Amino acid sequence: MKRPKIKNIPYKEFKDNETFEKLVAELNAKGTNVIVRKLDELIDWGRSNSLWPLTFATSCCGIEFMAVCAARYDIARFGFEVTRNSPRQADVILVSGTITTKMAPVLRRLYDQMADPKYVVAVGGCAISGGPFTKSFHVVNGVDQIIPVDVYVPGCPPRPESFLYGMMQLQRIVKVENFFGTTNRKQKDPYREEAEQRAEALYQQEEQA
């Protein structure tokens, strides 16, 4: 690859908060209601400090995730320590490790099983782009081909500090969201259309009868 497309924020912006402030301004510009916004802030404050990750790890990055959970790096400082084994109870999926083509449908299903609002963090080179296994026939080159990713954490594997940095960026994303009316209904009901068609067909049938 001659010109790699880097997916994270530019290096300069890494230091200042302009990017995020712009993001905040943008989000605030889109119909912020005074009362609801206050409620939003309260809810977002709570949500951002209690993001429950799904225990999902396929390879090396999972071990670093365990290290982050342990005493020295102590993920509990940020309220992420409640790791859930069921996707139904989790808020965020940390894709730590290589996703192979065999695993891809499983990951997709796990993501679909999570309740909204849900977030995805791609941890490590493999989840971002395939990492050292890009040329392998059995590796998905970037988990964003399967599910939408909110935060990318580079590294092979990322240091615990970068883990925490990535999770803090996710907190910032959560903090500026409008919970009412948007975030809590982010995903469209995939069966809605089907259900409508079925209802229509039933109606037609009854009409004919």
Partner 1 sequence: MTEQNEQSKPQAAAAKPAPAARPAAAPAAPAKPAENELKPRVLAPAEARAELVRLKEKEGMDYLENLTGVDWGEEGLGVVYQLENTTTHQRVAIKTLTADRENPFLPSVSDLWDIANIYEREVYDFYGIKFTGHPDMRRIFMREDWVGYPFRKDDETEKNNPLRMTNEPLADTTDSYILQQDGTITKETHNIFEEDEYVVNIGPQHPSTHGVLHFRVSLEGERIRKIDPILGYIHRAVEKISENMTYPQTLALTDRLDYLGAMQNRHALCMCIEKAMGIEVSERVQVIRTIMDELQRIDSHILFFSCLCQDMGATTAFLYGFRDREEILKIFEETCGGRLILNYNTIGGVMADIHPNFQKRVKEFIPYMRKNIKEYHDIFTGNVIFQNRAKGVGVLTRDQVISFGCTGGTGRAAGWSNDVRKHHPYAAYGKVNFNEVLRTEGDSFARYMIRLDEILESLNIIEQLIDNIPEGPFQEKTKPIIKVPAGTYYSSVEGSRGEFGVFLESKGDKSPYRLHYRSTGLPLVAVMDTACRGNMIADLITIGGTVDYVVPDIDR
Closest Cα to residue 151, out of 136, 178, 173?
173
- Tell me how far, at minimum, the Cβ of 72 lies from partner 1, in Å: 5
- Tell me how far, at minimum, the Cβ of 208 lies from partner 1, in Å: 36
- Tell me how far, at minimum, the Cβ of 138 lies from partner 1, in Å: 5
User: Which uninterrupted H or E stretch holds 171?
Assistant: helix 160-175
- Tell me how far, at minimum, the Cβ of 61 lies from partner 1, in Å: 9
- Tell me how far, at minimum, the Cβ of 60 lies from partner 1, in Å: 4
Q: Considering the complex, state which of residue 157 and residue 178 has its C-beta at the smaller distance from partner 1.
A: 157
Q: Considering the complex, state which of residue 140 and residue 176 has its C-beta at the smaller distance from partner 1.
A: 140
Q: Considering the complex, state which of residue 61 and residue 167 has its C-beta at the smaller distance from partner 1.
A: 61
E strands in the chain:
53-54, 92-96, 119-123, 151-153
- Phi, psi angles (nearest 5°) of residue 88: -65, -25
Q: Considering the complex, state which of residue 43 and residue 140 has its C-beta at the smaller distance from partner 1.
A: 140
CA dist., res. 8 & res. 28, Å (int): 23
Q: Which residues have C-beta within 8 Å of that of residue 148, sequence separation ≥ 6?
A: 120
Q: Which residues have C-beta within 8 Å of that of residue 7, sequence separation ≥ 6?
A: 128, 152
Residue with tokens 């690859």: 1
Sign of CA dihedral 115, 117, 120, 121: negative
> 21 by DSSP, 3-state: which?
helix
- Tell me how far, at minimum, the Cβ of 130 lies from partner 1, in Å: 9
Q: Which residues have C-beta within 8 Å of that of residue 40, sequence separation ≥ 6?
A: 177, 178, 179, 180
Q: Considering the complex, state which of residue 35 and residue 137 has its C-beta at the smaller distance from partner 1.
A: 137
Which residues form the interface with partner 1 (CB under 8 A)? 55-60, 62-64, 66-67, 70-72, 85, 87, 97-98, 100-106, 108-110, 132-133, 135-140, 145-146, 156-157, 159
Q: Considering the complex, state which of residue 114 and residue 151 has its C-beta at the smaller distance from partner 1.
A: 114
